[in-house]
Structure 1
Amino acid sequence: MQQTKTGTTDAGLRTGGRGRLIGLVVVLAMVNFVVDSAITAPLLVLPEMLDHFGTDQAAWLNATAMLAGVMWAPLLGKSADINGRRKVLVLTLLLSCAGALVCAVAPSIWVFVLGRVLQGAALAAIFLSVAIVRGACPPRIAMIIVGIVTSGSAVLNIASRFLIEELAMEFGFQILFLVSAFVAAAMAICVRGVVPESPIRTPGRIDVGGALLLGGGLAGVLGHVSLGPDFGWLAVGPLALLVGGVAALARWFLVSSRKPDPLIDVRNLGGPLVLTLLVVFLAAGSYQSMLQLVPLIGDVSADQRLGYGLADQGSVALLLAAPGVGVTLGGPAAGWLAARIGPASTLAGAVMLGTVVTIGMFLGASQLPVALCCGFLLGVTVGALGTSAFNMAGGLASPERQGIVSSLVMVMVSIGSVVLNFVGAAVLESTAVVVDGETTNSATGVFSYIAIASGAFAIAAVLVVLLVRSTRLGHGPAVSSPTR
């Protein structure tokens, strides 16, 4: 295949001027707000959902959408390259809308889980938005806009938390899914009217079988990791997920290696893209695991003399708000830097910052001002990390492969989040202590948790240095079809 420089855009500035460009940015930023309403916002009403369905299996209600997103991502990414990114983004939003409506009226937990599987398609909206931006704008402008689009809705997400809590208390948890359905439908209409369609198409057909094998295999393995602690590692359900997932992945690898046009040709991904994906897996997973730890630290008082705790030092609610503010700033700043020093160097800076800040949580576990500072800087890290990773992966792909390559970044974010969250939870559970008749996390567990997250960031830092060196030696980013 003839090489295509990534400086070529598929639509140029077809947005028709500054006003249309602003409209494009606003719509795509709101599309990413839909992702939050579908994937993470339901955690706000998790206790109410458990009571409504009469179950204690939070994992089924919580993890299903994320795991389904891993399955949807490669299929929708490939479909976008073949059929058009705008068209598939509209389909993604409509699937999320349908899933939210199913969840709102679900009479049983299993119907609700089916709705969450459909809602998981919303995860694809993130990387599809990135692919659309890279196709509609010149590279230097696209790097900045990617940061705004992927991070700009963070503050809105924080504000919506308070509104959702009030609405749920008044009307029940179902109102969250009705709101999510309404927003998804409205954004589908806006995308159809504002976002330009790409004229570039990838010749070929959608390998539906390969996509289902890959997505289903990943979802099965991650489902075992996510559900094992609640159901038991050797219980029939989680064990069946593991065996089925491994078998599906093995079958996908064997079949794909013989196909002339596979969904992803793992033999020809290219060193820089593999390094980028590994960095994303470790760094994004580490950040998500630290975010999981924050409320656990915030619920413990220093008066309990466990060696950590922030509950008696002020408003711990700020700990959960600080990362959101950091994300809003980190994404656009990373895009601006990437346009000047390159996405690889920007990604390296984000990983180095994340490593230092995560280590700082050893002190932040017992001092609120330090924890607030670390929370804010971790938000900056994740905003810069996501923007830089998408810009880096997009730069390693030809224009007709933006969808599938961007989907790989989202898949690695999801895998890293599930795996590192589980590892951290397992460490806390294995080191818990009993204080005044109640089981609580020990200082050993908390600081071991932070050490694991710091170690993951440190490994990512080593890999990102190798990535920067490889790009300086001329192995990226203008390469052709890394997924072929």
Structure 2
Amino acid sequence: MSQTQTSPPSADERPTSTARNVLIVVALVWTVQLVSLVAALSGIAQADIAIHFRTTEIAWFTLMTLLTGTFFLPFVVKAAAIFGKKRVLLVATGLGFAGDLLAAVATDYRTLLIGRGIAGIYAATAPLAYAITRDVFPRRWVGLASGVLAGGVGLVAFGGPFLSGWLLDDYGFRGVLWFMAISTAVSFLLVAVFVPESPIRAAAGRMDWIGGLLLGGGVTAIVYAVGQGSHWGWGSGRFVAWVVGAAVALVVFVLVERRVAEPLFPLSMTRRRPVWTVLLATSIAAGSLSAVGVVLQLLILMPNIPTISEGLGWSGTHNALVTSPISAMIIVGAVGTGLLARRVDARILLATGSALTAIGYGIGTHLHHNAPQIIEMGVIAGLGTGIVVAVVPIMIIEVVSPEEQALANGVQTLGQGVAQIVVSQLAFVVMAQHGAVLKGTQFYLDKGFTNGLWLVVGCVTAGALLVALIPRSKRLDEAEVGQAA
């Protein structure tokens, strides 16, 4: 798909002042990190929700948003290239608010899942926000702004547990759900008021509906099959049929994209070695780290019931106090990465961050039974997490052109989302092998939590090893950026 830059904005339209740039960064940080904040809030609330609705299917409370976000992501990214990134960002945020509102007022678990599914469309906003960063900032701001956007996950990790602990302890899970809805409304207002429209737009374009349905449908089918595999049986005909159907859809997608005039994701871009290796390594490393919350939040918040559940049984507030040093290290790692990226090879940063997280959670497989052990595990893993989340958007900037930025971000987000969903669901399956169901709720023993952490360690290690495939590319200060170009 050909893209071009629309007529350059006049000098007074360009966000050249520091104050204006800061306001744009604040709005985009809120947009990007609201996805992480909602994930954190969901993780902390899921134990109470499982007990309240007496469901063994609590995994879908989190996975439903990832599922719909994955399906709609290709359409959102393509629409942004055609109609404008800010405009599509506002539409996705508005739909996210509608879903959050439905979930907040739901009186049964099915309606709650429908609301979370609609809200999942908001997950597609993150790649658009990163692309806007490259398009509207001058060169000297791009690396720092990207690092701050990614590093905001540390602020979420730092303040999120305190916020969710207060909401959960004082207002229950309903308070958490209502806060999600209010936060999405604030995101809409911030983007509408402060964020300029990107000057990078498709010269001409049409929505590739067939390609989008094939890609979204194929990926969604894989995710759904993995989510249901433990119930159907991993060797059952039903599971095999879904996986085969997904594979066929993805193969047909590739064939269609080779023939269509304006493909959803140009294969010429994804075939380039610097691009596909970066997408593969970052998707697996970052996706696996996103999935670790499934294990840790259940370990920390599930009650301790002899022979039934061996969670730590902490309150939301106690969890926030203990994990605050971890969150601080995420901020340090992310902001430091944003500053180092212009001088240090991004491959080294990704490998270092992945290795630190593997070491931290590797320690945690044996030491996770009290607050000092949780802090010891998390401080090491937190520093690595900050490095990984910050270097991902920077690596993509280094290997694609400004016109390809939103598409590449979309592919990476899609791959990371699939990795997160698959690893998350496998974590539930692994933990359930050592647990029990009581009054309709799934509980887990210590061996289950240990195996869940080992799963994450193995997947993050795989991401670190894949860095070896990535060839040398341009440094951040050598890459072409939107306004500077």
User: Are the equivalent residues in 2 in contact too, given 1:287–1:378 (CA < 8 A)?
Assistant: no
| Structure 1 residues 423-462: aligned runs within 5 Å | 423-430=426-433, 441=445, 449-462=452-465
Q: For 2:63 and 2:27, locate their aligned partners in 1 and report how far apart those are by CA, in whole Å.
A: 27
| Structure 1 residues 27-176: aligned runs within 5 Å | 27-50=27-50, 53=53, 55-152=55-152, 154-156=154-156, 158-167=158-167, 173-176=173-176
Distance change in 2, residues 1:164/1:382 (3 Å) = closer
Q: For 2:246 and 2:466, locate their aligned partners in 1 and report how far apart those are by CA, in whole Å.
A: 28
Query: Once superposed, what is the RMSD of the aligned Cα atoms?
Result: 4.0
Distance change in 2, residues 1:380/1:92 (3 Å) = farther
Output the amino acid matched with 1:354. Answer: T
Output the amino acid matched with 1:180. Answer: M
Q: What residue in structure 1 maps to residue 209 of structure 2?
A: 208
Output the amino acid matched with 1:191. Answer: V
Q: For 2:108 and 2:162, locate their aligned partners in 1 and report how far apart those are by CA, in whole Å.
A: 27
Output the amino acid matched with 1:198. Answer: S
Q: For 1:425 and 1:110, locate their aligned partners in 2 and report how far apart those are by CA, in whole Å.
A: 20
Q: What residue in structure 2 maps to residue 340 of structure 1?
A: 343
Q: What residue in structure 1 maps to residue 439 of structure 2?
A: none
| Structure 1 residues 184-195: aligned runs within 5 Å | 184-195=184-195
1:452 shift after superposition: 4.4
User: Are the equivalent residues in 2 in contact too, given 1:286–1:420 (CA < 8 A)?
Assistant: yes
Are 1:400 and 2:403 matched, yes or no?
yes
Distance change in 2, residues 1:356/1:45 (3 Å) = closer
Q: For 2:49 and 2:364, locate their aligned partners in 1 and report how far apart those are by CA, in whole Å.
A: 33
1:24 shift after superposition: 0.9
User: Are the equivalent residues in 1 in contact too, given 2:48–2:173 (CA < 8 A)?
Assistant: yes
User: Are the equivalent residues in 1 in contact too, given 2:294–2:424 (CA < 8 A)?
Assistant: yes
> How does the TM-score come out when normalised to structure 1?
0.81
User: Are the equivalent residues in 1 in contact too, given 2:223–2:418 (CA < 8 A)?
Assistant: yes
Secondary structure (helix, strand or coil) at the match of 1:198 reads: coil
Q: What residue in structure 2 maps to residue 223 of structure 1?
A: 224
Distance change in 2, residues 1:137/1:217 (3 Å) = same
Output the amino acid matched with 2:405. Answer: Q
User: Are the equivalent residues in 2 in contact too, given 1:310–1:368 (CA < 8 A)?
Assistant: no
Q: For 2:154 and 2:2, locate their aligned partners in 1 and report how far apart those are by CA, in whole Å.
A: 40
Are 1:273 and 2:275 matched, yes or no?
yes
Distance change in 2, residues 1:98/1:362 (3 Å) = closer
Output the amino acid matched with 2:177. Answer: F
Q: For 1:249 and 1:477, locate their aligned partners in 2 and report how far apart those are by CA, in whole Å.
A: 35
Distance change in 2, residues 1:48/1:423 (3 Å) = closer
> How does the TM-score come out when normalised to structure 2?
0.81
Distance change in 2, residues 1:44/1:458 (3 Å) = closer
Q: What residue in structure 1 maps to residue 251 of structure 2?
A: 250
Distance change in 2, residues 1:55/1:370 (3 Å) = closer
Secondary structure (helix, strand or coil) at the match of 1:470 reads: coil
Structure 1 unmatched ranges of 5 or more: none
Distance change in 2, residues 1:126/1:442 (3 Å) = same
Identity of aligned residues (%): 26
Q: For 2:288 and 2:165, locate their aligned partners in 1 and report how far apart those are by CA, in whole Å.
A: 28
User: Are the equivalent residues in 2 in contact too, given 1:144–1:334 (CA < 8 A)?
Assistant: no
Secondary structure (helix, strand or coil) at the match of 1:263 reads: coil
Q: For 2:24 and 2:223, locate their aligned partners in 1 and report how far apart those are by CA, in whole Å.
A: 34
User: Are the equivalent residues in 2 in contact too, given 1:223–1:242 (CA < 8 A)?
Assistant: no
Q: For 2:359 and 2:171, locate their aligned partners in 1 and report how far apart those are by CA, in whole Å.
A: 44
Q: Which region of structure 1 is more displaced relative to structure 2, 78-87 or 146-155?
A: 146-155
Q: For 2:411 and 2:221, locate their aligned partners in 1 and report how far apart those are by CA, in whole Å.
A: 17
Q: Deviations over 1:241-296 (max 9, x none)?
A: 54553343233223222212211234641111211122123322442454444356
Distance change in 2, residues 1:321/1:66 (3 Å) = farther
Q: Which region of structure 1 is more displaced relative to structure 2, 375-384 or 85-94?
A: 375-384
Q: How many residues align?
A: 464
Output the amino acid matched with 1:58. Answer: I
1:460 shift after superposition: 2.6
Output the amino acid matched with 1:408. Answer: V
Q: For 1:11 and 1:452, locate their aligned partners in 2 and report how far apart those are by CA, in whole Å.
A: 52
Q: Deviations over 1:142-169 (max 9, x none)?
A: 1121121122253345434444454456
